Structure 1
Amino acid sequence: MAGITGIGSGMDINSMVGALLQAETAPKAAQLSRLDKAAEAKFSALGTLQGALGTFQTALKDLNKASLYDNLKASSSASDTLGVSAEKTALAGKYSVEVEQLATSSQVATAPLAKDFTAAAAGTLTFGIGADDEKPVSIQVAEGATLTEIRDALNEQLKDKGISANIVNNPADGTSRLVLTSKETGEGKDIQVSGALGDVDFAAGLQTLQPAQNAKFSVDGLQLESATNTVKDVIPDVEFTIKAKTEENKPVTVTVGEDKAGVKSQLKKFVDAYNQLMTTAKDLTRVTSVGEDKAPVTGGLVGDATVRNLVNGVRAELSNPGSGSGDLRALTDLGISLDKDGKLQIDDKKLDAALETNFDQVGNFLTGEGGLMTRMESRISAFAGKDGIIGTRQKSIEAQRSDITKQQERLAERSAKIEARLFKQFNTMDALVGQLSQTSSSLAASLASLPGFGSGN
């Protein structure tokens, strides 16, 4: 607006200019707004489709890895008692394991000491692991050192030795004990203590709370021992983690074999990704009626050839028989079939049976040059990724929206110029009308002052 207008003529110039400007620019502005909203909706819809397709493509690639079918998995019938893992070089087999005892570390306690104990004299305390420890640690204790100070000194200087110290107080008689715990397990790794502080000999009255001992267990009846609870290569390329003793006559069964659970998990991810892709495509092309007097609600890609071609290609490949041999030629042989809504569903019993009896054929059917996953990947590869059909269309829409934005900016500049021109014209007219009005008033006043003008002569 150009300030206060219409003073000379009494006309509402602001409203008049606004109406003319609206008539001049509104149709183009509305058109650009509609185009921008439509482009934004299509870009978003393509992005949703691209996301679902990317998830499906990942599932295909993961299921197409030959290493998935080469993996060996070790399982334990009682994982809270015996954990187990295996390298892919391990041999398949089944083993019976019994655990008699766990490997433990040494824990000892000094004889009871006064709660307010202090070292009567300076001295040296020496600590080692096992009777033949070649590198024991000697700690100097100053005269008057409290039990707390001694504990702190031990923890600081024995941490590399794997020994920790603490104080346990007896509320019944007010005495305290220094308790030492080692991290190192295995027979012969007991904590050794020597040295005295004044008349207190720390080795005297040393009580064993827990002896250092080996783990004792058997594999298929063979009696074995280990200094640690992590046992490697008792069975080549298989590792045990002993966690608890087994109950009498209840051995743990360890099975080393193909990773059927891993393959089944990837197949389920494939089914979920396929169903999500089909659901997304259906939602994006859906037309929903909302009443006789209202326009239907449509998805962002109704009638879109890209969606139609993608879906038809995937479905066609899904129904093509594979190049495999034996009992596996189609997904239905794995217990994976289409339901009435066009979604994949899994028959777990049939899938488990196929993995159990035809594991090698499963890999041959799904992977490799003629495998289902490779064939499906070839169907979707042209659509996926930033340089695929969908990504290219998104780039085109981005360019279109950029052009719309530029047109809107030019329209805004043109609107400003039109507004300025209209205000200039109307204000000029307003000033002229004001001048004519003043001239008329002046003329009327002059005539009225003439002799006889008011007498009717």
Structure 2
Amino acid sequence: MATLSSLGVGAGFDTESVVSKLVALEKAPAQKIQSENSKLNTKLSTWGRVQSAFAALRDASAALNRPDFWRATTATSSDATAVSVTTGNSTPTGSYSVQVNALATSQFVSSGAFASKASPVGEGTLRISLGTYESDGGEPPAITFAAKAAAQAIEIEIGPGDNTLEKIRDRINSANAGVTAALITDAAGTRLVMRGPSGASNAFKVEVAEGASPGLSALAYDASTGGTSSMTRTQSASNAQATINGLSVSSETNSFSDVLDGMSLQVSRVTASPVEVTVAQDTAAMRKGIDDFVGAYNSLVGLIRVQTLYDEASKTAGPLQGDSTATGLLSQIRRLASTSTGATSAFERLSDVGLELNKDGTLKVNSTKLQSAMGKLPELARFFSNSDDGNPAANGIAQRFREIAAKVVGSDGAISTRTDGLRATIKRNDEKISRLEDRVALIEARLRKQYTALDTNMGNLTALQSYVSQQLAQLNKSS
């Protein structure tokens, strides 16, 4: 007899459907747990968003706690094309008169003209030294070269494969000697031009030791008395010179760094008259920091409110609806926003400095009130950032928010405890699902075996019935 290819053929009814429905019933508990895990994963993801929002509040609060935040300054220049300025947190406010007398320059030297960049020059050794050319002030003055203590002379070997003008340029540029080389071509031919760093102490000399093929001395340069020079100096190295409120200052570059408690100047041209530089408190940066704090607080409050909300209209609940940890944290930070501080007598609550509470627990900024509070900057700084270990009631508002936010997002904080519990439940559920799936697989195998046997037996009975019917029909014909 042929083997049945599917359940139900022998039995004459849809046993495949029966088995599928029975298996589906057995799978129902696992599907219920999977649905529960889906909700738990949504909660876990939502707690991740809440943790990020608390971290943002912690960081925004920490910014208001830094002493340098309240000392931030900004500067303006009456002629930024000549003098631009940056300031630090320690720069005193006030006005400064800056006269630019000279810009920093680099030493340039140029060789004689060669026929082309591929022209051979010679072989040997170039020795490049950075330093200062100094005059003794005599008549005529005697010039000496003093090597720069922090710089080491670099020797560059020029062999048969490096002796063309362009190859020598490349060898100089790859030697890290502090000097760069370039080729300039005009109607007279091609010249090698060498340039040092700016500043009087970054002048240079080039000494030459001739090799087997002479001619390299065409690149020698030494401006000291008695020195050998085949190259021509087209520009001397010198420092930038300026006067700030009558005080002369100099720099090897056109930047004057930290000339006054964190104030740096960048000079671009010599000025015929002084440029006025004004340093003031950077209240715009401070206002931005306060706005960032308000934004972080409102984002956190809004997030928890939405995630714990039950919408009557849609009959849907947020992932954290009914979660006591979430509602507890929301209540805690909202209470903190309305508490007072003894950090300063000038301001007591956030509303005193223009950060007013809305009915939904978020903050709104009263710009007029906040601007007025900034007129008392030292007191405003204490209101936000004061720290007093001996008297917690005297801690600033931002200090308190930073502490609570840091505790909440800490490794043993409320969020970690809650999410660890969720992960443990998800893991247990996954293990249950795995066991149920194994059990369902065994049940399905048993059912298929039983219904396969039923199919076979029913098929045999059907075939026997057909045979008996045929024999009876033959007997009836013959009688």
TM-score by length of 1: 0.78
1-structure distance, mates of 2:449, 2:11:
14
Question: How far has the Cα of 1:241 moved from its partner?
Answer: 3.6
Per-residue CA deviation, residues 283-317 of structure 1 (Å, 9 max, x unaligned), is 21344577xxxx54432223433333222222222
Aligned with residue 310 of structure 1, among 304, 313, 329: 329
Aligned runs of 1:39-438 on 2, under 5 Å? 39-66=40-67, 68-69=69-70, 71=71, 73=73, 75-77=75-77, 81-86=83-88, 88=90, 93-115=94-116, 118=119, 129=131, 130=133, 131-135=143-147, 145-155=163-173, 159-160=176-177, 162-170=178-186, 173-186=187-200, 190-192=203-205, 197=215, 207-231=232-256, 234-235=259-260, 237-238=261-262, 240-245=264-269, 247-249=271-273, 251-255=275-279, 260=283, 263-288=286-311, 295-338=314-357, 342-347=361-366, 350-355=369-374, 357-367=375-385, 368=387, 369=392, 370-377=395-402, 379-380=404-405, 383-438=408-463
SS at match of 1:5: coil
2-structure distance, mates of 1:348, 1:249:
40
SS at match of 1:387: coil
Contact 1:119 1:198 in 2 (8 A): no
Question: How far has the Cα of 1:273 moved from its partner?
Answer: 0.6
Q: 1:125 to 1:10 in 2, by over 3 A?
A: closer
Contact 1:108 1:191 in 2 (8 A): no
Contact 1:230 1:239 in 2 (8 A): no
2-structure distance, mates of 1:339, 1:373:
19
1-structure distance, mates of 2:412, 2:47:
13
> % of aligned pairs identical?
26
What do you get for the CA RMSD once the two structures are aligned?
A: 4.0
2-structure distance, mates of 1:198, 1:37:
80
Q: What number of residue pairs does the alignment pair up?
A: 438
The amino acid that maps onto 1:166 is A
Give the match for residue 10 of structure 1: 12
Per-residue CA deviation, residues 93-144 of structure 1 (Å, 9 max, x unaligned), is 5422222221211123234444378568778877665242245778787899
1-structure distance, mates of 2:219, 2:407:
83
Contact 1:96 1:253 in 2 (8 A): yes
Q: 1:288 to 1:138 in 2, by over 3 A?
A: closer
The amino acid that maps onto 1:164 is T
Contact 1:102 1:216 in 2 (8 A): yes
Contact 1:102 1:242 in 2 (8 A): no
Q: 1:132 to 1:421 in 2, by over 3 A?
A: same
